[in-house]
Amino acid sequence: MSSEEKFTAQHQAVPGDTEKMNPTPDHGEDSYRGSGKLSGKTALITGADSGIGRAVAIAFAREGADIAIAHFTEEKDAQTTADWVQRQAAALSCFQEISS
């Protein structure tokens, strides 16, 4: 996207849905290459269903970490993140956060 191009305003009810965004955000699915810096480590990532949390989960998995992701209600987005993490051959635990 050139510096003259602008994103059009997009409004969603909270929590938002990544699938509805245009353009689709780059969470590093194809752009980030890991180098094993986190091999043997485990990371718990909250909010990993989308946004920065998804990007972190993918990056950490590509760096060799086993991943536990937590999300609120966005099952479809969380499953997409889980699929990307599993493609990195990382161990994965996925659970839904509970509100009080």
Q: Which of 29, 5, 36, 9 is nearest to 83 (CA)?
A: 29
Topology adopted by domain 38-96? Rossmann fold (3.40.50)
Across residues 20-42, what is the average pLDDT?
A: 83
- Write down the pTM of the prediction: 0.74
1 has a pLDDT exceeding 60: no
Six token digits for residue 26:
């780059």
